[in-house]
Structure 1
Amino acid sequence: MASAQVESVAGLLRGTAEDGVLVWRGIPYAAPPVGPLRFRPPSPVKPWPGVRDATRYGPQAVQFTGAPQPHDEGDEDCLTLNVWAPAAATGPVPVLVWIHGGAFLHGSGRLYDGAHLARRGGVAVVTLNYRLGPLGFNGPAGTANPALLDLVAALEWVRDNIAAFGGDPGRVTLSGQSAGGMLTSTLLAVPAARGLFHRALVLSGSARNVHSRGQGEEAARRLRAALGAPGAPGTTPEELTGLPVQALREAAAQVVAGAGDAVLRGDDFRPVVDGDVLPRAPLAAVADGEARGIPLWIGHVRHEMDIFLGDPGSGTPPVPLVPGTDAAGRDRLGEERWAALGEAYAASGEPGRDPHLDLLDDAMWWLPAIRLAEAQHAAGGQVWFSRFDHTPGMPPYDRLGPTHGADNRCLWGSSPVFNNLPGLPPAPPMGPADLAVTGQLQAAVLGFVRGEAPDWPAYEPGGDRATRIFQDPARVEHDPRRERRLLWRDLPEV
């Protein structure tokens, strides 16, 4: 493929050629969800006349509380995606669709530059925006999952259009990190997404982060109360669609602040098991074989929680978070079992680390990932498992170590997400260790996207639980942290 002008279903698009890669930015995949379409499922994009410029990113979604990057406030007219494809490709190439993270409250597809992966791996890369906060999850107008439907619409766009960009619609890998990983694993259980992707790579996020219907209704009630519209007669969806975006932003901030320290209970803005878009809990759906035909790779970072709690080497315990951990643990496990668990972590923790950090890591990230892997294996599906142990040579990771998001640095290289962190300088050039681990991770991811099996053994819960460790040098560990895993064997999720 050599031309940056292509014909999509909705009309002609003109992109750019950049160092061996063709790039199209800001392509609408659905109609603007504004006015009466706020809180509603996405609608088809209207065809346009002539040639549409696709050389600039579209607006990012409206950003809500907690965004770590400097950003504009975003726009409700945000449902766009971006495509990178190798210019020299002679046939349809595999496709990687990437879902950004950001706690379901912030983030953007434009933070991830797919040029290097497209150039190195001979694949097409798609990044995208979806609605965030109460516009995408648990809005006040009674629609639980607009953002999930945004993602389905984007995948449908890929199915219907990616061939014109040199991609193969029959070889689509869905992936994401943090909230993007959670959404990737959730989409394994969304009937409308079935057949739209064929492999899945879940990084630092599993499908535990969903609400039951009752929890979703309660979360929506809290948002309406923060808006001063607690659902009394006369408060209609039509009235709510006319609210200024700033009112929604302020109400969401109030709800998040009101969550206090109940860390393990999560926030109010997340997918909901609504019986419709998401008929059942994703873990149960995977265990029953709904993702059996989708090869699945699940990865996590060694110390996910450290970046949220500050510097664990400072001697300052995570005081705001420990009470929430304890409350959630007591609620779910009971006083006696929770106390015994805490004692076991205190006795077996890593030297110099607060045991609550390890407990949080395991409860929120590692164990849910293991349970997803176990569910996929039990259903007869293929699953691989990995852990990222490398410390990137850039702030804040050079201080905090291998914590949440560190793997993004090696997967995406010099993407804008690493040059816009508040209070920190732009990322420096990679050193030898960074380059070595970057080569490992990118080669593994690109091979997976191309349909290859990873070069380490599949995850076998009844066997040695092989886990690839991304570090310099790379290695495979068998059932790492076995003693800690067994502590939770018969316990419910916290």
Structure 2
Amino acid sequence: MNGLLDQAAALAWVHDNIAVFGGDPNNVTIFGESAGAMSVSTLLAIPAARGLFHKAIAQSGAAHNTFTPAMGAAMTEQFMEKLGVSGLDGLLSASADDIAKAATKVEAKLYDDPSGLGGPTGIALAMAFQPVVDGEYLPTNPLVAVANGDAVDVPFMTGTNLDEWNLFALMSPGGLDDPKLLQRLERIFGSGHPVRDAYAADRPDASPDDLWNAVLTDATFRIPAIRLVEARANASTPTWQYLFTWATPAFGGVVKSCHALEIPFVFGVLGNQGAELFLGGPVGDDLRELSVAMQDAWLSFARNGDPGWPAWNAQTRSTQRFDVERELLSDPMSLERLVWDGVL
């Protein structure tokens, strides 16, 4: 929670001082990616940040990453147990190295079984350290707050990449077969075959590992983003959604349209050495045009609160696809979306 309050304090400084640097304190846009997007989404519900920003963009991260007080207490207990200390004095006496090791152990345990904190069993990205809905600094769950009209006057844009989880799958041993895939799906959904079939419908050549990565992409990124968009729509607040689908040939093509791949396009740094490694080498005019299109959308949104495609509503679920070919989609991957109803 302290990190979010630090962000609110930084926004207050911007509000008070940005005019000196030629900025407009009444037209501030915040945007972030991954954990940064989770911060952006949560700031929508934090009273200390209210009125300090006027538009918000969340790239590959939404507002599901919060704990109830009970979950926060359970996590603290597990962390202190791994650290081998008790009380504040014990924590303050621990070395930074021991704290880091204990945090890693807690994260590993939670990754294997998120149900220990009352979360949906089997969903992989279970972060051990998250903001707590404390009733004061974060008065209520951000999704509830947004649905009730918090930040109703803040235009919001969010989106995800098609194959987010493929980046993290590089660190996974893989090797799933169909029975193991079905077992994992049953832990989350109660039944495996209908979910597998929904994900396989548009992926006829996908392996069990591919299907599992698609499920984790949705569990961790796409469905939380959709839930936040739906909450915003319930409050009749202006919201836009995008989907980034360009697949990089880097790393043998296995990561496809993975997590963080859109970042060099948004910042227009396709020629940077690190970006070229991620993009598979020097890029052509088609990718430079994609970058310009994304920058134009982000800048238009920051200036005017409109990225240039129809706002989202529950009837059309308009989603702008960013790729070499751009197009406006209506409710993309709806079969996969529907299997999460009542689950996440």
For Structure 1 versus Structure 2, the TM-score category normalised by the shorter chain is 0.7 to 0.9
Cα distance in structure 1, aligned partners of 2:156 and 2:92: 39
1:254 aligns with 2:111: no
Partner of 2:199: 345
Partner of 1:169: 25
Q: Specify the SS of the correspondent of 2:304.
A: coil
Structure 1 residue runs without a partner (length 5+): 1-144
Please state how far the C-alpha of 1:217 moved relative to its aligned partner.
Answer: 0.8
Cα distance in structure 1, aligned partners of 2:252 and 2:24: 36
Partner of 1:240: 91
Partner of 2:337: 485
Which of 7, 10, 13 pairs up with 1:157? 13
Partner of 1:375: 231
Cα distance in structure 2, aligned partners of 1:397 and 1:431: 19
Cα distance in structure 1, aligned partners of 2:57 and 2:229: 12
User: Is the Cα–Cα contact under 8 Å of residues 158 and 169 in structure 1 kept in the other structure?
Assistant: yes
User: Is the Cα–Cα contact under 8 Å of residues 40 and 56 in structure 2 kept in the other structure?
Assistant: yes
Partner of 2:327: 475
Cα distance in structure 2, aligned partners of 1:471 and 1:281: 34
User: Is the Cα–Cα contact under 8 Å of residues 181 and 212 in structure 2 kept in the other structure?
Assistant: no
Partner of 1:440: 293
Q: Specify the SS of the correspondent of 1:246.
A: helix
The one-letter code matched in structure 1 to 2:23 is G
Cα distance in structure 2, aligned partners of 1:297 and 1:345: 26
**Would you tell me which structure has more strand in proportion to its own residues?**
1
Change (3 A) 1:347 1:429: closer
Cα distance in structure 2, aligned partners of 1:305 and 1:376: 25
Instruction: State the TM-score, normalized to the length of structure 2.
Output: 0.86
Please state how far the C-alpha of 1:240 moved relative to its aligned partner.
Answer: 2.8
1:277 aligns with 2:130: no
Partner of 2:241: 385
Partner of 1:358: 214
Which of 1 and 2 has greater Rg? 1
The one-letter code matched in structure 2 to 1:449 is A
Change (3 A) 1:469 1:418: farther
1:310 aligns with 2:178: no
Partner of 2:147: 287
Cα distance in structure 2, aligned partners of 1:162 and 1:214: 40
Which of 399, 404, 407 pairs up with 2:262? 407
Change (3 A) 1:207 1:425: closer
Partner of 1:204: 60
Please state how far the C-alpha of 1:453 moved relative to its aligned partner.
Answer: 1.2
Change (3 A) 1:420 1:245: farther
Cα distance in structure 2, aligned partners of 1:189 and 1:179: 16
User: Is the Cα–Cα contact under 8 Å of residues 68 and 133 in structure 2 kept in the other structure?
Assistant: yes
Please state how far the C-alpha of 1:323 moved relative to its aligned partner.
Answer: 7.0
Instruction: State the TM-score, normalized to the length of structure 1.
Output: 0.61
User: Is the Cα–Cα contact under 8 Å of residues 291 and 376 in structure 1 kept in the other structure?
Assistant: no
Change (3 A) 1:168 1:323: farther
User: Is the Cα–Cα contact under 8 Å of residues 178 and 204 in structure 1 kept in the other structure?
Assistant: yes
The structure with higher relative contact order (CA 8 Å, sep 6+) is: 2
Please state how far the C-alpha of 1:324 moved relative to its aligned partner.
Answer: 10
Cα distance in structure 2, aligned partners of 1:264 and 1:389: 22
Cα distance in structure 1, aligned partners of 2:205 and 2:285: 28
Cα distance in structure 1, aligned partners of 2:163 and 2:204: 11
Equivalences for residues 32-71 of structure 1 within 5 A: none
Cα distance in structure 2, aligned partners of 1:455 and 1:243: 52
Cα distance in structure 2, aligned partners of 1:220 and 1:207: 21
